[in-house]
């Protein structure tokens, strides 16, 4: 079950954290992986991690906020490997601030990186999926897109927007054999959560029914499932991976 042999997966933001775990888990299920980073150093690290795990594929440099770079990168990947059949829109970042202090630039940056980027990358990959009449799009949203979080109006708005995007696109492309789903992690141990103060971390662990923060592999397991043939009747859904927090 959950075999991904013959699939070509593009995972954005695969240099670390959740994206890295998704790339490795999908690769171990047999998919060829292209994993991205904004830096050459990060892309080399992706290639090295795939090689070490015996997975076909490579790292590549991609900044999802740059439209032209997205079109070029997707074009090069498809030329080298064939049409992308699994797209994991994982790249993301936070720039937290209370709304009254938030600069326009902080708002725009977070909406660009977490939401507009998904429009761009998905559009670039979708034509090949439509032609092939098969494909999987998996968008990494967040628990805060549903619950909100003080200091994260920009990030929560982007992630909530991603839920609407996911459900709308799912309806548009279902007839072409393409599913579009979301994964909404709760609090996962990555660089993104490493700066949480110990007191906040302790409070979170107390509030999480399963009693711990998640790890990348918890999220990756759901991504593998949604990418697999076994999930072919699931579309327009968002799966929460949050230890029971919401």
- Token readout for 156 is 């929560």
Rg (CA), the chain: 17
Among residues 140, 160, 208, 224, which is the contact residue for ligand NAP, using CB under 6 A? 140
At 207, is the secondary structure helix, strand, or coil?
helix
**First and final C-alpha spacing in the chain:** 28
Q: Which of residues 144-203 bind ligand NAP (CB under 6 A)?
A: 185, 187-188, 190-193
DSSP state of 186: -
Nearer to ligand NAP, 97 or 132 (CB): 97
How many Cβ atoms from other residues are within 10 Å of residue 66's Cβ? 15
90 binds ligand NAP (CB under 6 A): yes
- Token readout for 17 is 């954290």
64 binds ligand NAP (CB under 6 A): yes
Distance, in Å, from the CA atom of 116 to the CA atom of 120, rounded to the nearest integer, reads 6
Nearer to ligand NAP, 29 or 89 (CB): 89
Q: In the bound complex, what is the minimum distance in angstroms from residue 215's beta carbon to ligand NAP?
A: 10
Cβ-in-10-Å burial (0-12, 13-18, 19+) of 167 comes to middle
- 155 in active site: yes
Nearer to ligand NAP, 65 or 134 (CB): 65
Distance, in Å, from the CA atom of 143 to the CA atom of 235, rounded to the nearest integer, reads 19
Given 38, 77, 113, 155, the catalytic residue:
155
Binding mask 26-55 for ligand NAP (x = CB under 6 A): ----------xxxx--x-------------
Nearer to ligand NAP, 16 or 167 (CB): 16
Q: In the bound complex, what is the minimum distance in angstroms from residue 78's beta carbon to ligand NAP?
A: 18
Q: Which of 105, 77, 91 is nearest to 8 (CA)?
A: 77
Active site members: 155
Q: List interacting residues with ligand NAP (CB under 6 A).
A: 12-13, 15-19, 36-39, 42, 62-65, 90-93, 113, 140, 142, 185, 187-188, 190-193
């Amino acid at each position: 079950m959950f075999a991904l042999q013959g699939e070509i997966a593009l995972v954005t933001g695969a240099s670390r954290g959740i994206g890295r775990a998704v790339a490795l888990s999908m690769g171990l299920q047999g998919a060829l992986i292209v994993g991205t980073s904004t830096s050459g150093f990060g892309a080399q690290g992706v290639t090295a991690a795939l090689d070490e795990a015996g997975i076909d594929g490579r790292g590549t440099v991609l900044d999802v906020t740059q439209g032209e770079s997205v079109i070029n990168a997707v074009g090069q990947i498809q030329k080298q490997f064939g049409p992308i059949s699994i797209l994991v829109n994982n790249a993301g970042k936070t720039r937290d601030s209370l709304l009254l202090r938030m600069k326009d630039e902080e708002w725009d940056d977070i909406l660009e990186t977490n939401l507009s980027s998904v429009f761009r990358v998905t559009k670039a990959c979708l034509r090949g999926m439509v032609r092939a009449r098969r494909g999987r799009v998996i968008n990494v949203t967040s628990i805060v897109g549903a619950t909100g979080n003080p200091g994260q109006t920009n990030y929560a708005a982007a992630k909530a927007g991603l839920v609407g995007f996911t459900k709308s696109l799912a309806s548009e492309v279902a007839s072409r054999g393409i599913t579009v789903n979301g994964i909404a992690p709760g609090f996962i141990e990555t660089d993104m959560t490493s700066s949480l103060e110990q007191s906040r971390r302790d409070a979170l662990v107390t509030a999480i029914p399963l009693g711990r923060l998640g790890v990348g592999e918890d999220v990756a397991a759901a991504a593998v499932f949604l990418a697999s043939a076994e999930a072919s009747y699931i579309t327009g859904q968002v799966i929460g991976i949050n230890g029971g927090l919401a």
